[in-house]
Amino acid sequence: MANTSLMANAIRALAMDAVQQANSGHPGAPMGMADIAVALWGRHLKHNPGNPTWFDRDRFVLSNGHASMLLYALLHLTGYELPLQELRNFRQLHSKTPGHPEVDLTPGVETTTGPLGQGLANAVGMALAEKLLAQEFNRPAHAIVDHHTYVFMGDGCLMEGISHEACALAGAWKLNKLIAVYDHNGISIDGQVTPWFIDDTPARFRAYGWNVIGPIDGHDVDAVDRAIADARRSAGNGSTGPTLIVATTHIGKGSPNRVDTAKAHGEPLGADEVALTRRALGWSHAPFEMPRDAYDAWDARTSGKAAEAEWSTRFAAYREAHPGLAAEFTRRMKGELPRNFAQVAVDTAVAAHAKAETVASRKASQLALEAFTAALPEMLGGSADLTGSNLTNTTSTAPLRFDSAGDVKLVDEKIGRHINYGVREFGMAAIMNGIALHGGYLPYGGTFLTFSDYSRNAIRMAALMKRRVVHVFTHDSIGLGEDGPTHQSIEHAASLRLIPNLDVWRPCDTAETAVAWAVALQNTTRPTALLLSRQNLPYAPKAGLEDISKGAYVLAEPSEVGINRKPQAVIIATGSEVQLALKAQEQLALLNIAVRVVSMPSTTTFDRQSAVYKVAVLPPGIPRVAVEMGVTDGWWKYGCAGVVGIDSYGESAPASVLFKHFGFTPENVVDTVRTVLSSRA
């Protein structure tokens, strides 16, 4: 039997040494959770340090990401490519040990955590993906999808409201292979949490449909081991609920003067206290000195290699029995799109082009989704209680339902691929991130654009993690009408465009919407936000479709409206305002003013194009006017001399009345262009 005290103290020593050397960090949680980590990582977790991304590994999420040294210590000790020097470089520039764990940077880190509660929601998404993939691909005697999702979390994660959204869904979805360990130490940065955190957490989770174990002593490795074993056993015995293990711990365990204090939470122990802690733990080794027997006790390379080899043998048998399914599973897990995907995109856009439909872009989105969900079985959609408004459902995506045994119900002989998230925008966004991180599905979900504020931090996290997630945001402007300013998006398009690595599309018709979807699904390293209208939009005639994917293109030249000369001005428009630009172009032609109309459905995509292409679309020296139902600030960077926008909140009235009231008319666009031209005369 391994020396559990030695294993736990190895974590404590590395945590306090790294934080002390960096003079920054959170030593308390790693020191307090060390025994819990010994129980899970030493006795239960299925993983392979030699191949951190092999498919059927258990997923481990450190939701309380400030405790990052716990995870870094575990990865180093168990044999991942995280040498001791990286722990010495904790929180330093370009190290693999940043202040909070970052996926794709540190081998073995499954998700980027730090904003509390989101890691827990990510874990729910991972567990859902595992369950759905098992239902879709496993066959009798061939269980190729069979792993658990474990998450460590603290009081802060449970205080964040997203924990309610995500955990309620985990219970509703009967994710019985999700096991959460709650580090109940009762301390946050501000001190003892009892004055402001009085929840009966076990009762809360039982109400969600979770199994609850504990409270147990989080420093008793055997007790934690038994709790995890019970959770795994209950799932195997037909229990349908996820499991919460409540583990009572002492933050800063081992530190004589900092244990159970807020000071242990978020600052170094100090040189004197580190020395006292070493003495209290009986740890006689120098800073960052790790004894051979500690490495030997933790080393998971041999067992991990054996676990992966066993799965590879099972998968080989599966491939022989079900070659088609095996090929599809392999493609899906690589994140590759079918070879015919590009043609599907073109055909969809061409069909929309040919129909020249006058529909709301939210409906155009649904038309595109009909083609894409039929071609891509990995598309997993949903909506935060607004399915009938967002139109994220299609004939190919039956609603996701679970029977009393926790199995996925077949609806019309289809596995459910449309999720009713309920009124949980933030939870939906973070769960989608977890689905994308797990692999096997391309998640998308819808709500009103104004509610993107609720889910914004999870959108930011998707962009930071470079994950392919699609947000369908409808009711994108004052065109929403009578619901008024609480629901009318004014600043949202501009604010989303400010998020690095997020693509934002605001298409004007069926063709642009189809292309936007195609580009979003091919964006393997960035999320996408589609901003779609409630009101119907006419089809904008165009010479071709090839330049739409570049984010902006010349939609109409002056020659197309009877004036055959170099444009005197350029009107840039997005979404529903493209029709205003085209009508203004016609009226200006009657005044002998030649205008080019540029449709710019995606500023973020256009910004990545070559300088040559940008100049071809927006020639220098020609004055520009932008037209968009949103704040004006973002348009000045394109050299616009005038902007027809809205820098105030909206009003409650029919859309047609609002358009006139706020100046979104062809006549106002004409006047703005003429004013700009006259100022340059």
Active site residues: 425
Q: CB of 310 within 8 A of CB of 144? A: no
| Longest CA–CA separation in the chain, Å | 90
The secondary structure of 308-356 as a DSSP string is HHHHHHHHHHHHHH-HHHHHHHHHHHHTPPPTTHHHHHHHHHHHHHHHT
Q: CB of 600 within 8 A of CB of 551? A: yes
Element (H, E) at 232: helix 221-236
Let me know if 236 is exposed, middle or buried by CB neighbors in 10 A (0-12, 13-18, 19+).
Answer: exposed
Please give the torsion angle defined by the CA atoms of residues 169, 175, 176 and 178, in that order, rounded to the nearest 10 degrees.
-90
Residue 473, phi then psi, degrees to nearest 5: -110, 110
How far is Cα 289 from Cα 155, in angstroms, rounded to an integer?
A: 32
Let me know if 548 is exposed, middle or buried by CB neighbors in 10 A (0-12, 13-18, 19+).
Answer: buried
* Alpha helices (runs of H) in 415-482, residue ranges in sequence order: 425-438, 452-465
In angstroms, what is the C-alpha Rg of the chain?
Answer: 28
How far is Cα 26 from Cα 14, in angstroms, rounded to an integer?
A: 12
Judging by DSSP bridges, how do beta strands 414-415 and 410-411 pair with one another? Answer: antiparallel
Structure tokens that stand for 150 in this block: 């474990």
C-alpha angle with apex 189: 114 to 7, nearest 5 degrees?
A: 65
How far is Cα 681 from Cα 676, in angstroms, rounded to an integer?
A: 9
How far is Cα 447 from Cα 471, in angstroms, rounded to an integer?
A: 8
How far is Cα 601 from Cα 588, in angstroms, rounded to an integer?
A: 23
Q: Compute the residue count for the chain.
A: 681
